[in-house]
């Protein structure tokens, strides 16, 4: 719902309206502004709740406070009742006005009362102070730039760039982090001097342009002293999930749901169907052997939803520049194209869609949630001398096919993948948990990056960007899961969906990111999440109550783009020729043109990692051409 924007420290009505125009895709249903001295802010609205009287900014009773908000407060009905009992008078039926009166009642602590996804700005017209806040998981974006006594904020970076004072420069000290993760961990972005307000943080903006940022929410790890029975947690999970779903479904417009063949989206679709007399579900496929479309259609038939299938076609790769334009920041995986096509199809008939992001992060559903705990136990039990003298030589000699069976991977590891696995295990003991987490997940290992960089960039790229682990506390698996709420969740899992749905004026809702549900998951003992080769144990027990056995037992199929099926397509070759030709690579100056050419030549092998590496470089260069150089202008 919506896009927000504003600035402090100067006056410029034309800039305010240009920022609004840049955010029109996030809110096609209307716009509103407030200009007071050297502070201005505004909103572009996507009408979901209170279609008739919900225009923003919204003021309190005596017009001393004003708010603009992006998102949805799912418990606004309960909060509205509570605030009315305390004497607050409402002029609308919106969730945004509930936040404003909540701020009157509780001050900054209002953020602790909110269940939902949000980024908002509340301006005090008397003092000139402004409070900005972002939801605990970063479901809604909020970027800012400060300098020269000015401060600007917006839901999208392209709105900030409407201001001539905001430079269009790539942040070179973030390049190494981007290659490792294919995103830049917050609060930095790939734009120099443009930051994101981190998830679960608030920002106090003062009239003179100064500001401070404070964290108000983080995952709390259990010390294990108050664990209850497994059955107690299952009952609490069902009640909390049902409550989260009921709140998430609140809308004055129809709600659809994405549906893969996995347990997460199947649970959401089943409960949504039970709450609604009619539900439309949507799936995407690739015409490949990894497609889940057949299984998804079977699940849809069993729960009684009206199901729709679309497929990513080779010619769709011509749309990749436009998708990168709408993402603002580079996310180095061509799967963003699939998210865009899925959102475009659903948005033809709906304004709101549900999706299952967040369950894997709570209940340990990814392969690395199994591999890292196994490596941790191995490192504690295996003597170092035996590890070096016996185990490592055996690993180096093992065929790739064997390692493919031992280490869950979306596709054939290839030689690069095998080397990555061997390097990971060989150096595990010498790295921190966070370093091992990055090492295992990275697309570009340390040696890969060293070979990729140009001679100049090899000396300039900052490699000291992985933060320290902090004080070790809690169970190993819980510490691993908690790390994802500092960056991975908002900078990788959510952003790929949120930017592409909002590009089509479609609001994404994620029931598994209910704050009470997350906090419950971290109160549970780790054996209810993952144990041995089993994952999402307690979630699957819940699913057994609601879904057919074959749905519950399905192994997680990673959602990735099968480049084998697209690599020879002319549209991809055009993009590669445009972005990774030796002249362009040399002119950019980041990478060795000869090394990049070898990677491109190797794309036609079955090496899964090489194909993903090449596409990540294509995306990075397209991002530069579109957002920094402005030499390529995709059609919105």
What is the layout of strands, in order, in the sheet containing 58-59?
58-59, 65-73, 116-124, 130-134, 201-205, 211-215
| Average pLDDT for the chain | 91
Identify the CA nearest to 124 among candidates 66, 211, 68: 66
Tell me: the pLDDT tens digits for 367-409? 889 889 988 998 888 888 887 887 778 777 777 566 655 555 5
First-to-last C-alpha distance (Å) of the chain:
20
Cα–Cα distance, 294 to 551 (Å, whole number): 12
Question: Of 453, 546, 493, 464, which Cα lies nearest the Cα of 266?
Answer: 546
Query: Which stretch of 53-62, 184-193, 199-208, 578-587 has the lowest confidence by average pLDDT?
Result: 53-62
The torsion angle over the Cα atoms of residues 466, 139, 18 and 163, rounded to 10 degrees, is -20
* Pairwise pLDDT comparison (381 vs 611), residue with the higher score: 611
Percent above pLDDT 90 for the chain:
73
State the pTM of this model: 0.94
DSSP 3-state of 132: strand
Q: Which residues are catalytic?
A: 2
Strand partners, 191: 170
Percent of the chain with pLDDT over 70: 95
Residue whose C-alpha is closest to residue 69's, from 38, 45, 35: 45
Residue 582 in this model has a pLDDT that exceeds 70: yes
Q: What is the pLDDT of residues 115-169, one digit of tens each?
A: 999 999 999 999 999 999 999 999 999 999 999 899 999 999 999 999 999 999 9
Question: Which of the 8 DSSP states describes residue 625?
Answer: I
Nearest to 308 by CA among 300, 317, 319, 320: 300
> Across residues 246-265, what is the average pLDDT?
93
Q: Residue 310 corresponds to which tokens in the numbers above?
A: 């679309």
* Number of Cα atoms under 13 Å in the Cβ half of residue 89: 4
**Within 13 Å of residue 385, how many CA atoms lie on the same side as its CB?**
0
> Is residue 414's pLDDT more than 60?
no
State pLDDT tens for residues 14-35. 999 999 999 988 877 778 999 9
What is the distance between the alpha carbons of residues 560 and 544, in angstroms, rounded to a whole number? 27
Question: CB–CB of 199/137 below 8 Å?
Answer: yes
* pLDDT confidence bin for 564, thresholds 50/70/90: confident
pLDDT at 561: 86
Instruction: Centre a 10 Å sphere on the Cβ of residue 59 and count the other Cβ atoms it contains.
Output: 17
Q: Can you give the pLDDT at residue 412?
A: 47
Dihedral angle computed from the Cα positions of residues 418, 419, 420 and 422, in that order, rounded to the nearest 10 degrees: 90
Alpha helices in 524-560 (DSSP H): 537-546, 549-553
What value does the CA radius of gyration of the chain take, rounded to a whole number of Å? 24
Sheet holding 306-311, edge to edge: 306-311, 280-285, 255-258, 352-354, 507-509
Angle subtended at Cα 282 by Cα 259 and Cα 544, rounded to the nearest 5 degrees = 20
Q: Does the structure show a pLDDT above 50 at 586? A: yes
Distant-in-sequence, close-in-space partners of 204: CB < 8 Å, separation ≥ 6: 129, 130, 131, 211, 212, 213, 214
**Mean pLDDT on 108-112:** 98
How sure is the predictor about 51, in pLDDT bands with cuts at 50, 70 and 90? low
Range of lowest pLDDT (61-65, 312-316, 562-566): 562-566
Residue 194 has pLDDT above 70, yes or no: yes
Phi and psi torsions of 243, nearest 5°: -65, -40
Q: Is a pLDDT exceeding 60 seen at residue 1?
A: no
Longest dimension (CA), the chain: 76
Q: Which of 365, 285, 278 is nearest to 539 (CA)?
A: 365
DSSP per residue, 404-437? HHHS--SS--HHHHHHHHHHHHHTGGGS-HHHHH
For residue 477, pLDDT beyond 90: yes
DSSP per-residue string spanning 131-147:
EEEE-TT--S--EEEEE
CB atoms within 10 A of CB 392: 14
Q: Mean of the pLDDT values across residues 448-460?
A: 91
Report how far residue 56's alpha carbon sits from residue 33's, in angstroms, rounded to the nearest whole number.
Answer: 8
Q: By CB neighbour count within 10 A (0-12 exposed, 13-18 middle, 19+ buried), where does 121 fall?
A: buried
Confidence class of residue 352 from pLDDT cuts 50, 70 and 90?
very high
What average pLDDT score do residues 194-216 get? 96
Contact 254, 272 (CB under 8 A): no
SS3 assignment, position 235: helix
| 3 state DSSP class of 328 | coil
Look-up: residue for tokens 């209940």?
Answer: 363
| Structure-block tokens of residue 292 | 């889940």
What is the per-residue pLDDT for 532? 85
50 pLDDT exceeds 60?
no
Pairing of β 507-509 and β 352-354 = parallel
What is the C-alpha to C-alpha distance for residues 580 and 422, in angstroms, rounded to an integer? 30
Q: How far apart are CA 47 and CA 31, in angstroms?
A: 11
Q: Which of the residue ranges 259-268, 346-355, 390-399 would you say has the lowest mean pLDDT? A: 390-399
Size (the chain), residues: 636
Average pLDDT in the 452-462 region? Answer: 88
C-alpha–C-alpha distance, residues 242 and 250, integer Å: 13
Per-residue pLDDT, 411:
47
Mean pLDDT of 577-600: 97
């Amino acid at each position: 719902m919506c896009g927000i924007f504003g600035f402090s420290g100067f006056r410029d009505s034309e800039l305010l309206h240009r920022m609004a125009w840049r955010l029109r895709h996030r809110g096609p249903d209307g716009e509103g502004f407030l200009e007071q001295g050297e502070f201005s802010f505004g909103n572009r609205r996507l009408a979901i709740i209170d279609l008739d009287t919900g225009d923003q900014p919204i003021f309190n009773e005596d017009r001393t406070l004003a708010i603009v908000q992006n998102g949805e407060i799912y418990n606004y009905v309960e909060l509205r009742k509570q605030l009315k009992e305390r004497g607050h008078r409402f002029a609308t039926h919106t969730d945004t006005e509930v936040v404003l009166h909540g701020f009157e009642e509780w001050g900054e602590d209002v953020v602790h009362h909110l269940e939902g996804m949000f980024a908002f700005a509340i301006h005090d017209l008397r003092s000139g102070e402004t409070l900005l806040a972002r939801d605990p998981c970063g479901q809604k974006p909020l970027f800012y730039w400060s300098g020269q006594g000015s401060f600007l904020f917006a839901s999208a970076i392209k709105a900030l760039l409407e201001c001539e004072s905001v430079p269009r420069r790539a942040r070179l000290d973030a390049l190494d982090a981007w290659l490792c993760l294919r995103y830049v961990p917050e609060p930095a972005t790939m734009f120099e001097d443009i930051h994101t307000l981190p998830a679960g943080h608030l920002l106090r903006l003062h009239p003179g342009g100064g500001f401070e940022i404070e964290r108000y929410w983080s995952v709390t790890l259990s010390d294990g002293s108050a664990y209850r029975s497994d059955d107690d947690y299952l009952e609490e999970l069902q009640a909390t999930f049902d409550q989260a779903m009921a709140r998430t479904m609140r809308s004055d417009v129809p709600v659809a749901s994405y549906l893969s063949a996995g347990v997460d989206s199947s649970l959401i679709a089943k409960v949504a169907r039970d709450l609604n007399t009619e539900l439309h579900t949507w799936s995407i496929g690739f015409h490949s052997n990894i497609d889940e479309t057949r299984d998804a259609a079977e699940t849809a038939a069993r729960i009684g939803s009206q199901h729709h299938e679309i497929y990513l076609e080779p010619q769709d790769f011509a749309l990749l520049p436009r998708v990168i334009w709408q993402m603002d920041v580079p996310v180095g995986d061509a799967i963003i194209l699939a998210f865009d096509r899925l959102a475009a199809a659903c948005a033809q008939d709906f304004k709101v869609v549900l999706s299952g992001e967040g369950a894997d992060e709570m209940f340990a559903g990814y392969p690395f949630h199994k591999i890292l705990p196994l490596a941790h136990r191995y490192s504690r039990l295996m003597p170092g001398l035996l590890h070096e003298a016996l185990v490592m030589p055996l690993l180096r000699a093992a065929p790739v096919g064997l390692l493919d069976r031992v280490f869950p991977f979306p596709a054939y590891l290839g030689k690069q993948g095998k080397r990555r696995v061997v390097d990971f295990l060989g150096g595990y003991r010498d790295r921190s948990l966070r370093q091992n987490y990055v090492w295992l997940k990275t697309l570009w290992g340390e040696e890969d990056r060293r070979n990729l960089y140009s001679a100049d960039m090899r000396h300039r790229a900052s490699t000291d960007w992985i933060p320290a682990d902090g004080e070790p506390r809690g169970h190993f698996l819980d510490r691993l899961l908690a790390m994802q709420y500092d960056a991975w969740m908002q900078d990788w899992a959510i952003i790929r969906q949120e930017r592409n749905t909002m590009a089509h004026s479609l609001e994404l809702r994620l029931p598994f990111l209910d704050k009470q549900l997350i906090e419950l998951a971290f109160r549970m003992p780790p054996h209810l999440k993952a144990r041995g080769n089993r994952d999402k144990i307690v979630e699957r027990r819940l699913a057994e109550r609601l879904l057919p056995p074959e749905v519950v037992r399905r192994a997680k199929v990673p959602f990735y783009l099968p480049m084998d099926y697209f690599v020879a397509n002319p549209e991809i070759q055009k993009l590669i020729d445009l972005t990774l030709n030796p002249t362009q690579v040399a002119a950019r100056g980041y990478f060795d043109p000869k090394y990049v050419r070898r990677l491109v030549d190797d794309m036609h092998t079955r090496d899964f990692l090489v194909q993903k590496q090449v596409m990540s470089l294509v995306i990075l260069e397209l991002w530069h051409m579109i957002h920094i150089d402005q030499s390529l202008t995709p059609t919105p």
